[in-house]
Chain A
Amino acid sequence: DAGVTQSPTHLIKTRGQQVTLRCSPKSGHDTVSWYQQALGQGPQFIFQYYEEEERQRGNFPDRFSGHQFPNYSSELNVNALLLGDSALYLCASSFGANYGYTFGSGTRLTVV
């Protein structure tokens, strides 16, 4: 049974560019949450998607946007990249909003 899969694993982008990260949830899970983890810090909540809609959002600017597809997979888009966007981006899936997360291994984004 596949867990949460994220792609790509590593990515290098130039400041000002746009990036799309992808996540496939664990089988049976219908809710996807995205977190940003800066080096040496705990993960910070970006947003959560359920039934193809953004249900909750953390304190991140509108440059961060997302999408959930009918098969429950999700994308995280970041526009106008800043050096400070360099981080590990974690996707976590769950069944609804009342069960524990399963995290993916993350996408390491480096903005130069």
Chain B
Amino acid sequence: GENVEQHPSTLSVQEGDSAVIKCTYSDSASNYFPWYKQELGKRPQLIIDIRSNVGEKKDQRIAVTLNKTAKHFSLHITETQPEDSAVYFCAASFSGSARQLTFGSGTQLTVLP
């Protein structure tokens, strides 16, 4: 089955700096890669996603890049703000966005004011 590895497990940045979180996946058939943000005690919320026919997607301060050959994808957050502090999860799925998602182990991002 699919295996998703996520790094780093913790990340601290100064407010205004950029943050990058990286994930690798094992199943070359995976074609949908969402990123979720989970604040303490709250539900995971989809912040951005990318499909395998696209190499990069951007939404304001958040961007995701995908390298299918290397089987890795990354989340980039620019101009970080304290409210960006949360746990971020990457995930991978085959054949559709609401199929079985395999999640990474999460990255605790702390934005220091």
Chain A: residues with CB nearer than 8 A to chain B? 4, 31, 33, 35, 40-45, 48, 56, 58-59, 90, 94-106
Nearest residue (CB) in A for B104 is A42
Docked complex Cα distance between A98 and B100 (Å): 11
Q: How many chain B residues have a CB neighbour from A under 8 Å?
A: 25
Say whether A56 contacts B100, CB under 8 Å.
yes
B85 CB to nearest chain A CB (Å): 16
Chain B: residues with CB nearer than 8 A to chain A? 1, 4, 6, 34, 36, 42-46, 49, 89, 91, 95-106
Residues of A within 8 A of B102 (CB): 45
* Interface secondary structure of A, over-half rule: loop
A49 CB to nearest chain B CB (Å): 12
Say whether A43 contacts B89, CB under 8 Å.
yes
Known contacts A41-B106, A42-B89; is A101 also within 8 Å of B42 by CB? no
Residues of B within 8 A of A35 (CB): 101
Say whether A43 contacts B98, CB under 8 Å.
no
Say whether A40 contacts B98, CB under 8 Å.
no
Say whether A103 contacts B1, CB under 8 Å.
no
